[in-house]
Amino acid sequence: MTKNTRNFRVAGVLILAASLLTGAPLVRALEDKLVVVTSFPKDLTGAFKAAFEKKHPGVEVEMLKKKTTAGVKYLQETASNNTSDMFWASAPDAFEVLKSDGLLQKYIVKATGIPDMIGAYPINDPDGYYKGFAGAGYGIMWNERYIKAKKLPAPKEWLDLAKPVYHGHVGMSAPSRSGTTHLTVETLLQGEGWDKGWAIWKEIAGNFNTVTERSFGVPDGVNSGQFGLGVVIDFFGLSSQASGFPVQFIYPTVTTLVPANIGIVAKAPHPEAAGAFIEFLMSQQGQELLLDPKIRRLPVRPDMYSKAPGDFPNPFKDKSIGAAVKFDVVKSKNRYNLVNSLFDVMITYRLNDLRAATKAIHDAEAALSGKSNAQAQKLIAEAKALVAAVPIDEAKGLDKDFAGIFKKKRKKATDKVTGRQAEVEAEWDNIIKANYTKAKALAEQAKSML
C-alpha cells in the first residue's frame, strides 16, 4: 500500500468522522419527538397528532394541554431548562407575552398560498415569531330551546343584547381571563370609540347572567341552558352545534377575525420536527382537518373553502365578516392590561350593582313609554349617563406613563412608575360603585313619578 493511498484513506475516515460528529447529512432527519404545549381541545390536537405521526413515522408527538394562562406561566418558569418545542393556542396576546420575554424563536414558513390578512388582522406576527394557522371571529350563540321557552327573539347585532328583553339571559367571559374575549372588547372600543364603546359594553353587561371564569364557560352555559345567549368565539358556537346541541351562532356586523397561532419555543429541543409540524399545519392536508365538524375553524388557505360545507363562513369571500373594523394592533397592545382592569372593575366585580341599576333603568323606561314626563326623562338620562361613565378618558388610557402602572413588570430597575395598580383600581371602584348606586336611585325616583 503506497503512502498516497493510505493518506487518502485517512482523509476519507476523517471526513466521515467529521460529518458524523457535526451531523450534517444532506437531508436532515426529524427528531423522534415533538412536545407541543397547547390550549386546544382534544378534538383538535388529537386529529393533528394522528395525521402528523402518520405523515412522519418515527416522530412521537406529545400534546401537553394547559390552559393558555397556565401554558404561558409554564413556559416562563421552565425556560431555564426548556423541554417544550412549540406553543399552540388561540390568543395572539399570549404569544406577545412570550415573544417579549424572548421565549419564542423565528421561523419562516415555506408553504405558499397563504394571504397576509384575514379580515382586518394580519395573519402572521410581523416579526416572524408566531404564525396564524386558522381564523376565528367573535359572535353571538344562543340556545334555541331556551329562547323558545322564554319567548325571546333571536339577536343579530351586539346592540340587540342590550335590549331589556334579554335582562339576565346573557353570558360572557372577562377579557382578563381570555385573550380572544379581550379582542372582542377592544374591537368594539375601536369600532365605536372609547366612550360609546364602553357605554355599549355596560348596557350589554347590565343584562349579564354571569361573567364566566373560563372562555369555555360561555358555550358550556349556553349548551346546558344555564343562560340563553353568549358572546363566544365562532368555533365554540359551531362545534357545539356540530356536537348536536340545539344552538345557533351568528357574526354581528362589527366583529373582527383573529388568527389562532403557533410558534416555536426558544431553545426547542426538537426544532426540525417543530418546523415540519408548522409546514404540515399550513399544508392543504393540515388545513383540511380544520373543516372537521368537531373542530370547525376557518382555514387561512382561501383554496380550502371549496371543500367546506355550504353554510361554512368564508372570510376571504364574504367581506362583511370581520372587515368593518380596521383593527389597530399597536393601540390595543399599549392599553392591553388597562382595558382588562377597567372591564373587571366596572363589570366583572360590580356585576350585581350594575345589574340592579340596569334593571331599575329598564323598569323606569318601560313605565315612561307612551307617557311624557320631562323630569322623569331627565332623571333616566342622568342615570344612564352615570352607568356609562368611565373613570378615565381615551387619552389617559393611551398615556404611556399611566398605562405603565398596569404593565406586567418593570423592564429595568431604573424604571419609575408613580401609582400602583391596586391604588388606582380602588379609586375607580369607589367611583363606579357610587355611580351605580346613584343611577339606581335616580331611575327608581323617575319610576315613582310615573
Partner 1 sequence: MNYFARTSLGPAGVAILLGLFLLVFLVVPVAKVIFVAFQDPNTGALTLVNFADFFNTSLFRESFFNSLYVALMSVVVGSVIAMPLAYFTTRFNFNGAVLIQTLGVIPLIMPPFVGAVAMQLLFGANGSINLLLDEWFGINIPFMEGLNGVILVESIHYFPFILINLSAALNNIDRSMEESAQNLGANGFRLFRRIVFPLAMPGYVAGASLVFLKVFDDLGTPLLLNVNNMLAPQAYLRISSIGISDPMGYVISVILVLFSLFALWTSFLAMRGKEYATVQKGGGGLMKRDLRTWEKVGAYAVVIFTLLIVLSPHIGLTLLSFGTIWSFSVLPDGFTLANYQEVIGTTSDYITNTMLYAGLAALIDVVFGTAIAYLVWRTKLVGRKWLDYLATGALAIPGVVLGIGYLRTFYEVEVPFIGQPLASWWVIIVVALAVRRLPYALRACVAALQQVAVALEEAAENLGATKYRTVKRVVVPLMSGGIIAGFVTSFATAAVELSATIMLVSAESDAPLSYGIYVFMQSAAGRGPGAALGMIAVIIVGVATYLSHRVIERGKREQALDAALAGGV
Chain-centre distance of CA 158, in angstroms? Answer: 17
Min. distance of Cβ 196 from partner 1 in angstroms?
Answer: 26
By CB under 8 A, the residues from 245 to 264 that bind partner 1 are 245-247
Min. distance of Cβ 33 from partner 1 in angstroms?
Answer: 10
Which residues of 268-333 form beta strands (DSSP E)? 298-299
Which residue in 243, 284, 375, 448 binds partner 1 (CB under 8 A)?
243
State which residue, 35 or 304, has the beta carbon closest to partner 1.
35
Q: For residue 112, what is its C-alpha cell? A: 405558499
Q: How far is CA 323 from CA 201, 245, 308, in A?
A: 20, 29, 21
Which residue in 122, 128, 225, 391 binds partner 1 (CB under 8 A)?
225
State which residue, 129 or 316, has the beta carbon closest to partner 1.
129
The β-bridge relationship of strands 229-233 and 60-65 is unpaired
Which residue in 70, 154, 385, 450 binds partner 1 (CB under 8 A)?
70
State which residue, 155 or 404, has the beta carbon closest to partner 1.
404
**Neighbouring residues of 241: CB distance < 8 A, sequence distance ≥ 6:** 247, 248, 249
Given the rule CB under 8 A, which of 132-140, 189-197, 338-346, 372-380 is the region that contacts partner 1?
A: 338-346
Please name the amino acid found at residue 2. T
The reply on whether position 420 binds partner 1 by CB under 8 A is yes
CA atoms within 13 A on the CB side of 363: 17
By CB under 8 A, the residues from 284 to 303 that bind partner 1 are 294
Q: What is the rounded CA–CA span in Å between residue 401 and residue 315?
A: 38
Min. distance of Cβ 389 from partner 1 in angstroms?
Answer: 18
Given the rule CB under 8 A, which of 189-197, 238-246, 297-305, 313-321 is the region that contacts partner 1?
A: 238-246
The reply on whether position 242 binds partner 1 by CB under 8 A is yes
Min. distance of Cβ 300 from partner 1 in angstroms?
Answer: 21
DSSP 23: T
Q: What is the rounded CA–CA span in Å between residue 52 and residue 60?
A: 9
Helix (H) or strand (E) holding 33: strand 33-38
State which residue, 182 or 301, has the beta carbon closest to partner 1.
182
CA angle 115, 119, 125 (to 5 degrees): 60
Which residue in 299, 384, 425, 443 binds partner 1 (CB under 8 A)?
425
**Neighbouring residues of 353: CB distance < 8 A, sequence distance ≥ 6:** 432, 433, 436, 437, 440
Which residues of 376-420 form beta strands (DSSP E)? none
The β-bridge relationship of strands 208-212 and 298-299 is unpaired
Min. distance of Cβ 332 from partner 1 in angstroms?
Answer: 13
Min. distance of Cβ 376 from partner 1 in angstroms?
Answer: 31
Residue 265, strand partner residues = 104
The reply on whether position 334 binds partner 1 by CB under 8 A is no
Q: Of the candidates 124, 74, 62, which has an alpha carbon nearest to the alpha carbon of residue 103?
A: 74
Burial of 305 per CB tally in 10 Å (0-12, 13-18, 19+): middle
Min. distance of Cβ 110 from partner 1 in angstroms?
Answer: 29
The reply on whether position 226 binds partner 1 by CB under 8 A is yes
Q: What is the rounded CA–CA span in Å between residue 86 and residue 72?
A: 12
Number of residues that bind partner 1 (CB under 8 A): 88
The reply on whether position 418 binds partner 1 by CB under 8 A is yes
Our CA dihedral for 118, 121, 126, 129, rounded to 10 degrees, sits at -80
Burial of 209 per CB tally in 10 Å (0-12, 13-18, 19+): buried
By CB under 8 A, the residues from 121 to 180 that bind partner 1 are 143, 145-146, 149, 176-177, 179
State which residue, 159 or 242, has the beta carbon closest to partner 1.
242
State which residue, 282 or 405, has the beta carbon closest to partner 1.
405
Residue 62, strand partner residues = 35
Min. distance of Cβ 114 from partner 1 in angstroms?
Answer: 26
Cell 373582527 belongs to residue = 256
State which residue, 55 or 420, has the beta carbon closest to partner 1.
420
The reply on whether position 83 binds partner 1 by CB under 8 A is yes
State which residue, 129 or 245, has the beta carbon closest to partner 1.
245
The reply on whether position 239 binds partner 1 by CB under 8 A is yes
State which residue, 114 or 342, has the beta carbon closest to partner 1.
342
**Neighbouring residues of 294: CB distance < 8 A, sequence distance ≥ 6:** 43, 44, 239, 242, 243
Given the rule CB under 8 A, which of 68-76, 119-127, 192-200, 364-372 is the region that contacts partner 1?
A: 68-76
The reply on whether position 390 binds partner 1 by CB under 8 A is no
The reply on whether position 112 binds partner 1 by CB under 8 A is no
By CB under 8 A, the residues from 35 to 64 that bind partner 1 are 35, 39-44, 62-64
